[in-house]
A and B are shown apart, each in its own frame.
Chain A
Amino acid sequence: AQTVTQSQPEMSVQEAETVTLSCTYDTSESDYYLFWYKQPPSRQMILVIRQEAYKQQNATENRFSVNFQKAAKSFSLKISDSQLGDAAMYFCASGAGDDMRFGAGTRLTVKP
């Protein structure tokens, strides 16, 4: 079984600043993938970034990057140059086989 833990229920960041959202996971699988999904007020879930566990290189997507620490089972999301449109719930998720587990989410507020 997999578990995903997000210890920060809420975070806030000033526009144009950088923020890091934390995520830890636990899995007995050797082959798994990690994800960050964004859920804006519209409720539509959108993939932000995806990391293959067997790859040591951290994934990046424009202003979004991850810090993947496999031994520590940590998968944090860094948002650079935060924009007002980044305000949303962010969910960390772990996928292995047919199973998918999500964390409880972190609500990010962006202050102008």
Chain B
Amino acid sequence: NAGVTQTPKFRVLKTGQSMTLLCAQDMNHEYMYWYRQDPGMGLRLIHYSVGEGTTAKGEVPDGYNVSRLKKQNFLLGLESAAPSQTSVYFCASTTSGSYNEQFFGPGTRLTVL
């Protein structure tokens, strides 16, 4: 059981470049989340999904897009990276809703120059 995995672990982008972060879970969880973690600000919810084929906006969705084509995968895309998107990105999954324990991936450190 790998739990929640994230690819890649580190990435450096130039302003304007695009990239996709992949999150995969093998726990058959319905709900998946993408957060960003910045110093002094905790974790902020970017987008989430309540099931295959569904996505919804969180607290800070601007500049990001997501897709959930398969239940086990949740992709986070940056179409045109900006320095303000330099952050550590965490993916999480849970069985149902925000009432239950969330299982987190190891994080992706993204630097945008």
Contacts and interface: CB of A to CB of B under 8 A. Distances in A.
Interface band, chain B: 20 to 34
B89 to A, nearest CB: 11
Interface string B14-43: 000000000000000001010100001111
B40 A99 contact: no
18 contacts: A6-B42, A9-B40, A43-B106, A43-B107, A44-B106, A45-B90, A45-B102, A45-B104, A46-B104, A47-B101, A96-B98, A98-B98, A100-B45, A100-B98, A101-B45, A102-B44, A104-B41, A104-B42
Contacts of A9: 40
B112 interface: no
B56 interface: yes
A110 B31 CA distance: 35
Nearest to A47: B101
Contacts of B56: 98
B104 A44 contact: yes
Nearest to B49: A98
A91 B43 contact: yes
Given A43-B106, A95-B99, A105-B42, 16 more contacts: A4-B42, A6-B42, A9-B40, A33-B99, A43-B88, A43-B107, A44-B104, A44-B106, A45-B90, A46-B104, A95-B98, A98-B48, A98-B50, A100-B98, A104-B41, A104-B42
B62 interface: no
Given A91-B43, A102-B44, A97 B98 contact: yes
Interface in A21-66: 33, 35, 42-47, 50, 52
Q: Which 8 A-B pairs have the closest CB atoms?
A: A95-B98, A45-B104, A102-B42, A102-B43, A100-B98, A104-B42, A47-B101, A33-B99
Nearest to A95: B98
Which of A52, A100, A103, A105 has the most C-beta atoms of chain B within 10 angstroms of its own C-beta? A100
